[in-house]
Amino acid sequence: GNSVTQMEGPVTLSEEAFLTINCTYTATGYPSLFWYVQYPGEGLQLLLKATKADDKGSNKGFEATYRKETTSFHLEKGSVQVSDSAVYFCALSDRVGGGADGLTFGKGTHLIIQP
Amino acid sequence: DVKVTQSSRYLVKRTGEKVFLECVQDMDHENMFWYRQDPGLGLRLIYFSYDVKMKEKGDIPEGYSVSREKKERFSLILESASTNQTSMYLCASDAPGRSWKQYFGPGTRLTVT
């Protein structure tokens, strides 16, 4: 079955530090990959996605590149802010076309940015 | 903006009670999902539905059932609540053939005592 492995936190960084959160996956076929973010007291929201190998998803200064050869989708940001403090989830979907299926999530990484 | 709303943010129930968690979306999405979120385990899919009256089991359906009588509403039912069902429950919806973006509700934190 599908699975997603991501580094567990909490990860604590100082403001303006460089961020990497590692994510690797196991799936049959060619899944789509996602990063979701959950800010304190809020629901999950999509941060970025990539639907095929070598695609780069980006949003709000965050980036992740779909690496099929290493089955990875690491999240990076060059300079984090206190407002980036949240829980980050890596996820995949092997849904094809118009089908329906849930996402497979990693366990989540709690990121804490200190001023 | 897509809105996914859940009937309660916090709920406390006793062991053995029948519990209903309600979810409503306003974007005419065909697909709706129920996940539970636990520390150290991430999100796990309980059930999903791709059409009215249609349902599919997810990864952890035991102890749960669902109902989808109308397109916009998807209910999660705990027939006889147990303490190991204490968790955060998240509802989501999306449309097939689109960008696979799932829209999530704010969650219901259920405590079973």
DSSP string across B40-80: TTEEEEEEEEEETTEEEE-S--TT-EEEEEETTEEEEEESS
A11-25 pLDDT per residue, tens: 999 999 999 999 999
Q: Find the CB nearest A105 among B42, B56, B105.
A: B42
Q: Cβ of B105 under 8 Å from any chain A Cβ? A: yes
Cα separation, A58 vs A65, whole angstroms: 9
Look up residue B97 and give its two tokens: 């053939």
Q: Is the pLDDT of residue A7 over 60?
A: yes
Q: Which residues pair with B88 in a beta bridge?
A: B37, B109
* pLDDT for the residue B65: 97
B29-80 pLDDT per residue, tens: 999 999 999 988 889 999 999 889 899 999 999 999 999 999 999 999 999 9
* pLDDT for the residue B61: 95
A34-93 pLDDT per residue, tens: 999 999 888 899 999 998 899 999 999 999 999 999 999 999 999 999 999 999 999 998
Cα separation, B33 vs B92, whole angstroms: 5
Q: Which phi and psi (to 5°) does residue B84 adopt?
A: -75, 0
* pLDDT for the residue A26: 94
Q: Which of A43, A49, A37, A111 minimizes the C-alpha distance to A80?
A: A111
The alpha carbon of residue A7 and the mean position of all alpha carbons in its chain are separated, in whole angstroms, by: 11
Q: Find the CB nearest B96 among A49, A100, A107.
A: A100
Helix, strand or coil, per DSSP, at residue A51: coil
* pLDDT for the residue A30: 82
Q: Is there a contact between B44 and B35 (Cβ–Cβ < 8 Å)?
A: yes
Look up residue B88 and give its two tokens: 């955060």
* pLDDT for the residue A93: 87
Average pLDDT over residues B20-35: 94
Q: Which residue of A has its CA nearest to B94?
A: A100
Residue in B43, B59, B60, B101 to test binding to A, most A beta-carbons within 10 Å: B43
- CB contact residues (below 8 A), chain A span 9-68, against chain B: 32, 34, 36, 42-46, 49, 51
Spatial CB neighbours of B73, under 8 Å, sequence gap ≥ 6: B22, B23, B24
Q: Which phi and psi (to 5°) does residue B80 adopt?
A: -150, 95
B67-102 pLDDT per residue, tens: 999 999 999 999 999 999 999 999 999 887 655 678
Asked whether the beta carbons of residue A99 and residue B96 sit closer than 8 angstroms, the reply is: yes
Asked whether the beta carbons of residue A102 and residue B48 sit closer than 8 angstroms, the reply is: yes
CA distances from B75 to A69, A103, B102 (A): 41, 19, 17
Q: Find the CB nearest B105 among A8, A43, A104.
A: A43
CA dihedral B62, A40, B109, B73 (to 10 degrees): -70
